[in-house]
Each structure stands twice: as C-alpha cells, then as structure tokens.
Structure 1
Amino acid sequence: MKYIKTSIILFLLAVMPVSAQQKITLQEIWSGAFRTEVMDDLQAMKNTNQYTVLNANYKTGVAQIDLYDFATLTKTGTLIDSKNHKELKGIDSYTFSPDEKKILIATNSDQIFRHSFVADFYIYDIASKTLSKLSDKKVQEPTFSADNSKVAYGYDNNLYIYDIASKVSRQITNDGKKNSVINGITDWVYEEEFSFVRAYDWNAAGDKIAYIRFDETAVPEFTMEVYDEGLYPVPHTFKYPKAGEKNSTVSLHIYDVKANTTKEIKLGNYSDYYIPRIKWTSEAQTLSAQVINRHQNDLDLIFVDANTGAAKVVLNEKDKAYIDITDNLTFLKDNSFIWTSEKDGFNHIYHYNKTGKLVNQITKGPWEVTAYYGFDEKTGNIFYQSVENGSINRDVYRISLNGKNKTRLTPQTGTNAATFSPNFQYFINTFSSATQPTTYTLNNAKDGKLVKEIKNNEALKTKLEKYSLPAKEFMEVTTDKGNKLNAWMIKPKDFDPNKKYPVFMYQYSGPGSQQVNNEWHGYDDYWFMMLAQQGYIVACVDGRGTGYKGAEFKKVTYKQLGKYEVEDQIDAAKVIGKYNYVDASRIGIFGWSYGGFMSSNCILKGNDVFKMAIAVAPVTNWRFYDSVYTERYMQTPQENASGYDDNSPINHVKNLKGSYLLVHGSADDNVHVQNTMLMVEALVQANKQFDWAIYPDKNHGIYGGATRLQLYTKMTNFIKEKL
C-alpha cells in the first residue's frame, strides 16, 4: 500500500469541488434512490380522445386509474380508486372492454414465469361503480368479447367463458391437464421465446374464439428443487423442450359461442411446426394464423374461413437464416394489411392487399424500423419508430401509406417512443438520452411540435448534480479485422490521460440485442458510474450479431453462436488495450444470461486478454437450452453438432488462466442451474480455481429482498480484488 502524506490529502480535499465528493453507493442504487418518475401503465383510449394512467402508491398498496384529456392533459377524473373497494389489494394491471364502459382489474397476482401470472380478476362497471369478481379462483388472461357481454379466460389449462349479465361461467374445453394439454394459454417455450401468453382471440362479432391447443405430452420434463417451502425441498416439474428434443404438438381450433361447438382447423401439410401468432382480421369470420417451420426460416401467413374451416396461404416468407416474429401485423378496414420484413436486408414496412398481393414497400433505406404504431384511416398516414438517425437512437416518423411525405416528428436526439391518441391528432412522446432523464411531452402528430410538457424528472437531474457523475461517451471501435462496432465508455470524472486505468467491459451480445443505445441510465449504469468513481474505466461494445444495423450484421452469427461475437469482444479489448491511458494487463468482462455465456467464453478463448470475468446465469452448453431460441440460430444439435460444441464454454475450461466468478439462481426456469453445475464439475476436473455463488430459489433475474444488493456487493468486491 502506498504511503501518502496527510498534508497532501488535506490539500486535495480543500481544492476538490464539493460536488465531486458525493459517491454512489450500492445501497442507493438498489433501494431505488435514482429511480425515474414514469407514467405507469399508460393506455390510450380507443373511443374517446383520452388516456389513462395507473397511479399507485406501492408503500400503502393503494392504486387508482386516472383519466386524462389528450388535448389539454387535464385530469378529467378517477375511474376507480382501490381504497374504496376492500376487495382490491391494489391494482396490478387493467384492461378495458371494447366499449370502454367496463374494466378488468387484476389484483393479488402470482407470477408463474416471465410473462405469465394468475390473479384475482374483477369486472368494474364505470357508470354504476360496481365491482364483481370474475371467478372464485385465480385465473389467467381474461379478455372481453367484442360485444362487451362476455369474458373468456384460462384456468387449469382449460378455457372458460363468463357471461357478465348472468354471472355464469361455461367451460369450453375439457381436456386440459398439467404437463399434458394446454388450451388457449402458451406452454413455457412459446411464452419465453415467442413472447406471448394468451393463445386465444375473440373475433370482431364476439361469436367465435380461436385458440391454440398445446399437446405437451411428449415434451421432456425439467425439475427444480424449491428449498424454502418446508422441511423437505419440493420438486417443481414442468415441460421444457431442449434443443433437438420434442416440442408440443400444436393445433388450431375455433369455438362457436352460439352453437357451443368446436372445430379443428386443418392448416395444411405441415410437420414439426410452430403457430407463433393468431389474429382475427377486419372481416369477422376470417382468422389469420402464422405458421413457421422448426428451423424458423419459412413462414406462411394463412387466412382461415371460420364458418367452413378452409385455410389458404396468402403470404410466404423465407430467409436463408431465420425470421423474427413480431406483433406488427395490422389489418386495415378493407382487410389489406401492414407487414414488416427484413427481406430487403433491413426491417421495413410493407402494404399487402387482402389477397396477399404486395401493394408497395412503404419504408426503404439502410436503416431499421423498430416499432409500428398504427395507421390513421382519415389521413392515410402510418406512424412508426426507426433508427434512421443513427442505430443508437430512436425517432418517431409519419409517412403516407404510399411511402411519400415522410416527416420526422421528434427533433431531440436520443430515444423517442410514442403513445398516440385514438384520432392520431396527438402523441405522448417518451424521450431520454444518456444525458437527459426521461421526459414525457404532448406533441402534435402532424408535425411533431411540442404542445405541452407532462413530466420531466428534473428533480432527479438536480439530485444527481451533487454526485458529479461521469459521462457515457459514445464511439465506434474498429477492430484489426476491420469490423466497425458501436461502443460507449465511462471514464472517471477526474480522468488523467497520463495515467493507466483498468477496464471493466460489459456486454450482452445476443442476436438482435443492443446495449450501446442513447437512453437514460438503468440500474447497471449507476453501478458502472460507481466503479468509474472508484478508478475504473467501464466500456461496452456491441459486436456482430447485435441488432439495428441490418440483417447481414445481425445474422452473421447464424449456426455459430459465440464465434464472431466472442471474436469481436476479444478484438475490441485488444484495441482498447492499446489506448495510452489503459492498462492492457487489467481488462475484465461481465455479462448476464447470453452475456454470461459471452463473458465465460471471453476469459477462456481470450485468456491472454482478459484478467477476470463475471458470468451471471450463463448458458454454458447450448445443448442445455430451449428448442425455439437455440434452433432459431443454430438449427438442431443433430444437424449442427460442431456449432453447438465449438463455442460452448463448458468445452474450453482447460484454457482458464484468469479469475472467474460464476453466479446462478437455483430456481432459474429459463437458463437452468444445470448449466452452472456442470460447468463447475468441468472446471473441477480440469483442476481450475474459480469463485461461484448459488442463490436459492431465485429465478433468472436473481432478485428479491436484499438479493440484488448482496450480489452486486459480491461482484464489486470481486472486481476490486481481481482487477
């Protein structure tokens, strides 16, 4: 330890500005001290030019749904306040009936997996201010019928219909059974990888329900031990198809509400396929279904006649790698439809007529459309979000259906996202950047001009001034192989270019992901700034395989996950290591989930570059991960054994030279703790020393109580000791 005279310390403290003396602490980060104010559960009404916000006090458990006018931002009333209804233990989420006279309210929710939950649901009549319980049991995914008279819901793997007038429920499927058959609710892998839970849909007439049936009988089971439920651990068993294993057999069905009959739809001569989306078209008796093959590179959009059951392919799309499923399919009044596709090399918006014939490509250019907001029938305008102003930024645009008259509606550079009024006259813009906390403004949809500010988080900005936080600098790193990669760097506030600093790299790197983006700080950003305050440079590089720079850049990793991404992190670290102010012998790397897979590979394949690595909840062998995700990018292990094995960290443990911290939650239903346990065994048998931590009964997010604080304290201490 170096000896420094006390007089020098006192001098430095005397000349140092007070604002620079405040240090971020982990306790502050994980207690929510830097949390931004948000407009929680903001929903635009469809029948009136208004919007609602869920205003909740999480300390008291009281919540209310408030109604605001889009044109003036004036609060026009409170639709419901939970404190006036003893049945409501707060309000967890809510949805309106189509006529917006009733609200389905979820309370007392219990999480199942990432998106799914069961809850006590109540139907609230706004006019009469009465509350009635949907079911005596906790149910899933209730949805109003189009005629407002009924609510469908899932319970115990079956579908039910509740008649609001008579308050009577009717069971419409009967073969649902745990770990066997699911009706109208997705299985684990669909929920996780196709990102939806409600696998049923009402038609516009309210007389039909289409649903997907999952027969998961042949899907292998995975069991996790739950430790904190009694004297003996309790096994939790669920169906989980790993790469190359059996998936659920899916089928499409349409239930006729009036006739109380169900027919199975024969979609065509498909085998081993997925139905990742169903959606009724603007024609009440025409259903759309997307069917994609197991390799996920050949997709059919099918129209089904609900009365006859006849199915017809109206659009086919193929890709040499894979096709990403989206929720952008939108039917216009004439049943023509909006579709987004990467078929020209970048994600763009297309317009097809009702028979599936291309009308025109609406957006074009070497940039990506990142969100589709809607179509204004009156003006013929489409509203969308894109990265046209740089791949790290997001802007909102207006364009005519014919592809002309494009207008950028958001002048501020950063991340813009919009919620449009029902008549598309206004939009609430959510904006932030790396230097500006989230602001909410009302803007005119015609030209984007500011109408009024709603919320600005200036209090947080003022609070942060005393910390004198270091800035996030955006740059482009060019590797020796010539790859140009987006990056950011956080340097200590008192950065001295004549000093040598250790570098801590962070990344995720999964297909289509992005960590180098111009938006306000998340929890990890504050941690990185805390590390910078303690003398570290923190850097992040988005390598090949990440998103928003075109299909070629993203899909180069096809069949070889962990090859080019790892090369890019190693090569980027070498470039950074050549900077005059970097100590190339002290470079570390961290990642979570896919990022943990990456950081593990980096310290093994880049063992002369990285001194230390932290891997949280990593995949260590792609053979252990689920079918839908892994095969989308790798095909099956039976077809691509070398692609699986060459880049799985578990096969390279003999190369470990630096310090390695491995972390996992024992109840991770997504990336199973099996990944870490077998990685540990491989490291032990290779006689490698390492550190590891298992968090009992914690899932992929590893949170709850003091868990995050303890984990980040552990990681911080590891960095200080090893880097």
Structure 2
Amino acid sequence: MHKSIRIGYALWATILLNAATLMAQTPAPFKPTHDEIIARYKHAAKMDSLTKNAVFGDQVVPHWNDDEQSFWYAHMLPDGTSEYLLVDVKTGRKRPLANGEEIAAAAQQEQSRQLSSRARGGIVDFRGERISPDKQWEAYIEEGNLFAKQRSNGEVIQFTSDGTKETPYGAMAWSPDSKYLAGYFIHPVQDSLVHYVLSAVPETTRGQLVSRPYKQPGDPFTTYELFLFPLDKRAAINVDAETIDFPNAAPQLRWRDGDARYFTYEKFDRGHQRFRVIEVDAQTGATRNVVDEQTKTFIYHDRQYTHYPTGSNLLIRSSEKDGWRHLYLVDLVSGTEKPITTGEWVVRDVVDVDAEKKQIWFTAGGVIAGEDPYHIHYYRIGFDGKDLTALTPDQGNHSVVFSPGKSYYIDTYSTVNKLPVTKLYRGRDGKEIAVLEEAMLSDSYLQSGVTPPEVFVAKGRDGVTDIWGIVSKPSNYDPARKYPVLENIYAGPHDSFVPKSFVPYSEMQSLAELGFIVVMIDGMGTTNRSKAFHDVCWQNIADAGFPDRMLWIKALAEQCPFVDTTRVGLYGTSAGGQNTVSALMFQPQFYKAGVAACGCYDNRVDKQWWNEQWMGYPVGPHYEAQSSATVANARKLSGNLLLIVGEADTNVPPESSYRVADALIKAGKTFDFLSVPGMGHSDGGPFGRMKKRDFFVKHLLGVDPPDWNAGELPYNPDTGRERWSFQ
C-alpha cells in the first residue's frame, strides 16, 4: 500500500511538472490595461495615417494611338506629381512626353474614339425600327394595340383589339424578311412599397416618410405572352409557349441567320432551376427547346453567359452542368452542344468573342495546379475548344487591358502581399515585350512596421477541399501572448470576397493594431469554385460556411500559438450582418461577440432577386426557419451583439433590423442597438466603426474603451475616420 502511494505521488509530481512546463510554453492571453488600450487606439490612428497613399506605380492606364503602335500613360511619383510616358509597343521602350502640347494632342486623339451609349428601361413599344426591313410597312402601338400601315397606299392592318394602356402589346420586332412582327401581350405589375422615416432632416420638425417600390420574395412579376403577327394572315397567332413571368423584362427575340422562319428567345424559370433557349416556328407558332438545362439546386442567373456570334446560327453559353463553370458551343439549328472548355477549374468571365476568327478571350481560376484557385488568369481559345493559350503566365491575380484591336495587351498582377507588376505583351502569341512598372511602397509605410496580410489555407468540412483566407496581426504583436480573433465576414453566395490583389493596409489591419488577430475567409456556399462548393448555400443561407470557417480558425491556431480560439468575434455588413447574427444564434459555442450592420436577417423581407436565387421559389417554411427575426431563433442567441442600421437604407429595408430587435426583446435577450439617422446601407459610417472597435475591446479584450465624452481621446465625426492628435 505504501509503495502504491509513493508511486501515486511520483506520478502526480510528474504530471504537475509537465503541466507547469506546458503553462510556461503556452502564451498567456493578451489583456491590456485601460491605459494600454488608449495607447493602442493612438497607435492604430498613427498607422492609419502613415499608410495612406502607400503604393506607387501600381497601375498603367493606357491611352492608345490609332495605329496601336504606341500608347501613353500617367505615372504617379512618390512626391505626388505625375510624369507622362510614351511607350513604343514593338520595343517596349518608354520616353517622357516632351511637353504639354504633345500630351494634349495625345489626349485629344484618344477622346475622339470615345463612344457613348444610353440604356433603355421599362416597357418599350418596339425593339429596333418601327419601319420594316424592306421599308414597305410601318408598325405602331395605339391605345395598347398593334397596327401596321403600308407606306405606299396607307392601308392599315389592326392585329389586336384587346390591348389597353394598362395592359398593352409591346417589345415588338420585325423579322429580317419583313413577313412577321413578333412581340408580347404585357400585363404589368406595380411593386408594393417599402417605407422609411428620415428622422433628422434639417429645417423640419417632423419625420419625413420616404416610400419606394421594392420587390420581395414571392411578389408577382410583370408577365409576357408571346405572339406572332404574320402580315399575310393579318391576325395574331398565340405562340405555343408558357407565359413568361420571370424576370421582369421581355426576352429578346433573335431570328435565325439565313432563314427568317425561325427565331429563339431565352427563358429562365422562376426559382432558378431551369434555363431554356426556345425556338419558335413563325409559320405555325410551334416551339422546341434548343437548350434545356435543369438542376435540383440553382442555376446562377447573373452568371449565365450567352453570346450569339454575328453571322452564324451559333450560341456560346456558360454552364455548370459538369460541376464546374465552363463554356459550350450550341448549334441552334441542330440543337447539338459541345464543350469549349473543360477541366476542374472555373471560367470566371468572357472578355471578348471574335466571330470571324472564331476565338474567345476569357478569364479563369484554378487552371494552374498549386496556385490560389481564386487568382484570375487570362486565356484565349477557339470555338472548337482547341489552341488554348495562356496569356498571363506569372503567378498572381491578373487584370488585363487589351489594345482596341487586341494586337497588344497590358497585364498588371499581384497577390495580397506581393506588390503589383505591370507588363506589356504581344497579342497574337502572348510574348512578353517589356516590364512597364514595378510598384513601390512609400517610405512612411516601410517605416511604420505594418505588413500586408498573410495567406492561410486549411481543409474544409469535407477534409479535402482547400479553404482560403487572409490574416492580419498587430504590427507589434508579442508571440508570448494569445490574441482574440475577429472575423471580417461576408458569405453572400453571389461571389467570393477575400482580397486577392495587393492590400497594403485596410480596416482589418487597423483593428488588428488594437490587439486582435483579424481574418477573412471564403467558406463553402460562396462562388468561384466548383458547383458542389457553391451548392452548400442552397436553401441554407444560415450555414454561411461556418463549419469551414471554424475549422480554418482552429487550424490557424494550431500553427500560430498566439491565436486565441476561446475569444472569437465577427463583424459584417448586409449579408455579412446576417452572417454575424446567424453565428451568435447557431454557432454560439465558437463565436462570442458580433457587430452586425444593415443585415438581411429575414430572407422574406430582403430583395427578391437575391433571395429567391439562393432560397428558391415558392417561398416556403425554410425561409422562416433560417430567419434571425423569429422568436424561436432569437432564443438561441448567446454572446454579445451590437446591431447597427442606417435609417435610410435603400438596399435592405431597415425593418429587417428592427424585426430582429423585436424578436430578441420578446425572447428576453439583451443586446446593443445603434440606428444612425440619415445613414444608408453601410457599416454605420465613422461613428458605427468607432462603436464596433469599442464593442470588441470591451467584450473580447475585457477592458473599457476610451471615454469619448470625457475627452480621453478626441473624436471628429466629420473626418470620415478616427483621428487623434499626437503632440
């Protein structure tokens, strides 16, 4: 027995010794005193000033001469002045423009090439000319009905009689052979109003009510019935097609090249789960689906690219049907469709199409193995999917400007922490001609001690997919201390949001200077990756990629002992505000404090186009289940919350925030609330940003922020950002 006791004591002593050693090696939590945090506010303001206008030579805006053999650009110098450089594109040699007259002449030549266009909106009577292509007929709408008058003898055909000013026929178009008119019977819908009150308008004593149309999920759309009007039949033919009830515009009609008997139009079904290109036989009114793509989740409407090359019966379109966004070539006559691009990477955008050369210029991400898949690179490819040419070989995020005839192009590239470089290339083969600029940092920035963000990658919830993000830490951080984490969140499914080009300084770094590790992450449910990556958001907005984000932050802490995962907060605006409140309601075991501004907390209250895209149609119980504005979900709130709303928000109705406040009050929850008079859709402006800093200092660092009313630090709300005196 005594032996066992001695062994027990020895074991316990070893455990205590190991624990003491571990404690000595584990960083202690960073907990500043009040005086220390005042000094950090001053230090952050100083860094804000020292890092202004930090980068020089980071861009080249070319002004091309007509022959494309030269261009000039303005080069900003560190002293704030500019020099004007003329570049010979064959050699890449630069020389200063000689004098003011030479500069003015170059500018005048460029301005002579500028063209302007005017957008047309609303319901239009005609798309194109009222006069028929053969000049024999003039069509017109009168009292909502369609007429055509023969120009030679004045004979009039009245095609319709059931139109009115309120429900007119319109968006008419002639067939190329002048045998048909085609257009729509339109049933307009007036959107319901949303309201807000401006509470502090100068020279008034009452709140000013502002009302405006605003379409919310489930609201009706203007509808369009497609009709044909053959001149020889002198009657209307109702096309055998579904009424178009989405989106809020009449589809454009495109007649077949060389055969005016047929035309096509595009149709997106409401709910975003079906996209079609439909062909109409003008002789019979019969239809067939040339393209018919359907999905169980969603087709991203705003990223649906279609292009009809001039002089052909071809369609170039984008699709994610194979799991990645790629380009396809459709023969509109036969209906056959072939891939142009393939692979486990994403076409980001189409830059240009040359119908004569049958070439496409486009941007893509993820083509180069091992590189950040969000970096944008430029490529050229043939309609047949052959001769894929990489135009931007250097690693980084690229922005290219082509000469008007694409004989040359200028490529500026960087990463989030590598300075921009600008190069000149030859268009036909992508040959590098010259390095035009290599960006530099100002002396004050270099002396400040601040560094750009660091890139960090960790596996997502599936253990396979890479999740990318950036990290900003205090310029004077102590590796022997553990700092709380702030996540700058925006998980809107319409894009990805972590910066990829050079970031010398940002609000993230300014917050970090107060004593935080500030991160930004693109989790699953955002776009610019695979379809499966994006599909996580489908009817699941409240997910916001949190399983990926939490794993990412934990992985960061494993590599960086100064990261404290027991003190994690987050902040965001708009969708980021929604994400912030969702985190405190649905992930309270991880996120302890949040500042949410102008959030779309209830997807039934926010704008139709954004919410139906991800949450689907019709509006069902799943909308309410994920809303932060329900008492049931409000009861789940844990941690500390500051809600900020601008009373004049025209993006997300202010009542979205007030409904969350109402639900929290009814659930017996405490929270902070800031309504900014006259403020629009924002993070609350300078005052809101000050309150955000103070909130996190109090709730994550555990120290009282500056007493602004007592003048511990001077604050001027008119400067647009916090500023203090350092004498």
State TM-score, norm by structure 2: 0.69
CA distance in 2, matches of 1:614, 1:262: 62
Q: Aligned-pair distance for 1:33? A: 7.5
Query: What corresponds to 1:77 in structure 2?
Result: 106
CA offset at residue 589 of structure 1? Answer: 0.7
Higher Cα Rg: structure 1 or 2? 2
| Structure 1 residues 643 and 69: CA distance shift in structure 2, 3 A | farther
- State how far apart, in whole Å, the 1-side matches of 2:652 and 2:532 are: 28
Q: Is the 8 A contact 1:282 1:331 kept in 2?
A: no
- Contact 1:634-1:644 at 8 Å conserved across structures: no
1:335 aligns with 2:313: yes
Describe the shift of the 1:155–1:366 C-alpha distance in structure 2 as closer, same or farther (beyond 3 A): closer
Alignment match of 1:597 (pick from 561, 571, 578): 578
1:633 — aligned with what?
A: 614
User: What corresponds to 2:274 in structure 1?
Assistant: 298
Equivalent residue, structure 1, for 2:222: 248
* Preserved CA contact (<8 Å) 2:541 2:626: no
Match of 2:189 in 1: 217
Given the superposition, is the C-alpha separation of residues 255 and 25 from structure 1 closer, same or farther in structure 2, using an over 3 Å criterion?
A: farther
- Look up the match of 1:274: 247
> Counterpart of 1:698?
679
1:66-465 correspondence to structure 2 within 5 Å? 77-79=106-108, 103-104=115-116, 142=118, 153=120, 215-217=187-189, 219-227=191-199, 228=201, 231=204, 232-250=206-224, 266=239, 268-270=241-243, 272-274=245-247, 278=252, 283=257, 288-303=264-279, 313-325=289-301, 326=303, 328-332=305-309, 333-355=311-333, 357-358=335-336, 360-377=338-355, 379-387=357-365, 388-389=367-368, 390-438=372-420, 440-452=422-434, 457-458=439-440, 464-465=445-446
Of 535, 545, 551, the match for 2:515: 535
1:676 aligns with 2:657: yes
1:722 matches 2:704: no
CA distance in 1, matches of 2:478, 2:535: 40
Moved more, 427-436 or 498-507: 427-436
- Structure 1 counterpart of 2:545, from 549, 553, 565: 565
Q: Is the 8 A contact 1:505 1:540 kept in 2?
A: yes
| Residue 290 of structure 1: how far off its partner (Å) | 1.9
Amino acid in structure 1 at the alignment position of 2:194: F
1-structure distance, mates of 2:469, 2:186: 43
**Structure 2 letter corresponding to 1:671:** V
Letter in 1 for 2:223: T
What is residue 484 of structure 2 aligned with on the other side?
A: 502
1:588 aligns with 2:569: yes
Q: Do the aligned residues in 2 keep the contact of 1:500 with 1:583 (CA within 8 Å)?
A: yes
- Does the aligned pair in 2 maintain the 1:281–1:335 contact within 8 Å? no
What is the SS of the residue equivalent to 1:530? helix
Partner Cα distance (2:235, 2:434) in 1: 51
Q: Aligned in 2, Cα 1:219/1:376: closer, same or farther, shift over 3 Å?
A: closer
Partner of 1:187: none
Deviations 1:295-352 (A, max 9, x none): 1111112356899988654221111211123363222232312111101110011112
Confirm or deny: 8 A CA contact 1:300 1:315 kept in the other structure. Answer: yes
Q: For the residues of structure 1 that align with 2:192 and 2:476, how far apart are their CA atoms?
A: 56
1:574 Cα deviation from its structure 2 partner: 4.7
Q: Give the aligned partner of residue 610 of structure 1.
A: 591
- In structure 1, how many angstroms separate the alpha carbons of the residues matched to 2:312 and 2:125? 34
User: Is this contact kept in 1: 2:324–2:530, CA < 8 A?
Assistant: yes
State the alpha-carbon separation in 2 of the partners of residues 262 and 79 from structure 1.
54
- 1:542 to partner: Cα distance: 1.7
What residue in structure 1 maps to residue 529 of structure 2? Answer: 549
Q: What is aligned with 2:157?
A: none
Cα offset, 1:609, TM superposition: 1.7
Displacement after TM superposition at 1:161 (Å): 9.6
Q: What is the CA distance between 1:684 and its match in structure 2?
A: 1.9
For residues 619-658 of structure 1, the aligned pairs below 5 Å read: 619-636=600-617, 638=619, 640-646=620-626, 648=628, 650=630, 651-658=632-639
CA deviations over 1:75-115 (Å, ceiling 9, x no partner):
7633499xxxxxxxxxxxx9xxxxx87743xxxxxxxxxxx
Does the CA-based 8 Å contact 2:240-2:285 persist in structure 1? no
Matched residues in 1 for 2:298 and 2:434: separation? 43
Answer whether contact 1:637 1:644 (CA < 8 A) is retained: no
Q: Do the aligned residues in 2 keep the contact of 1:253 with 1:262 (CA within 8 Å)?
A: no
- Aligned to 1:442, the other structure's residue is in SS state strand
For 2:706, the equivalent position in structure 1 comes to none
Distance 1:660 1:181, change over 3 A: farther
Gaps spanning 5+ residues in structure 1: where?
A: 7-19, 58-65, 82-93, 95-99, 105-140, 144-152, 164-169, 185-198
Structure 2: tracts of 5 or more residues without a match: 1-30, 37-41, 77-84, 98-102, 131-138, 145-164, 701-727
1:365 Cα offset (Å): 0.7
* Corresponding residue number in structure 1 for 2:452: 471
What amino acid is the match of 1:224? Y
Deviation of 1:546 (Å):
1.4
Separation in 2, partners of 1:493, 1:708: 25
Shift of 1:468: 3.0
Q: Which has the higher strand share?
A: 1
Residues of 2 paired with 1:281 and 1:417: CA distance?
36
TM-superposed deviation, 1:503: 0.7
Give, in whole Å, the separation in 1 of the partners of 2:494 and 2:238.
Answer: 34
Q: Residues 396-426 of structure 1, C-alpha deviation per residue, up to 9 Å, x if partnerless? A: 1122332223222112222113333343322
Equivalent AA in structure 2 for residue 591 of structure 1: G
Please state whether the residue corresponding to 1:77 is helix, strand or coil. Answer: helix
Cα displacement string for residues 679-710 of structure 1 (whole angstroms, at most 9, x for unaligned residues): 111122223222222233333246xxxx7333
Shift of 1:444: 1.8
Call closer, same or farther: CA 1:35–1:546 in 2, change over 3 Å: farther
Q: Quick check: 1:488 aligned with 2:470?
A: yes
Superposition RMSD in Å: 5.0
Contact 2:381 2:389 in 1 (8 A): yes
SS in 2 for 1:504: strand
- Structure 2 distance, partners of 1:471, 1:479, is 25
Residues 2, 246 of structure 1: CA spacing in aligned structure 2 closer, same or farther, 3 A cutoff?
A: closer
* Conserved? CA contact 2:222–2:248, under 8 Å: no
2:497 to 512, 515, 518: 515
Identity rate of aligned residues, in percent?
A: 21
Normalised by the length of structure 1, the TM-score is: 0.70
Q: Is the 8 A contact 1:489 1:539 kept in 2?
A: yes
| 1:23/1:467 contact within 8 Å kept | no
Name the CA shift for 1:103/1:209 in 2 (closer, same or farther; >3 Å).
Answer: farther
Give the whole-Å Cα distance in 1 for the aligned partners of 2:648 and 2:189: 23
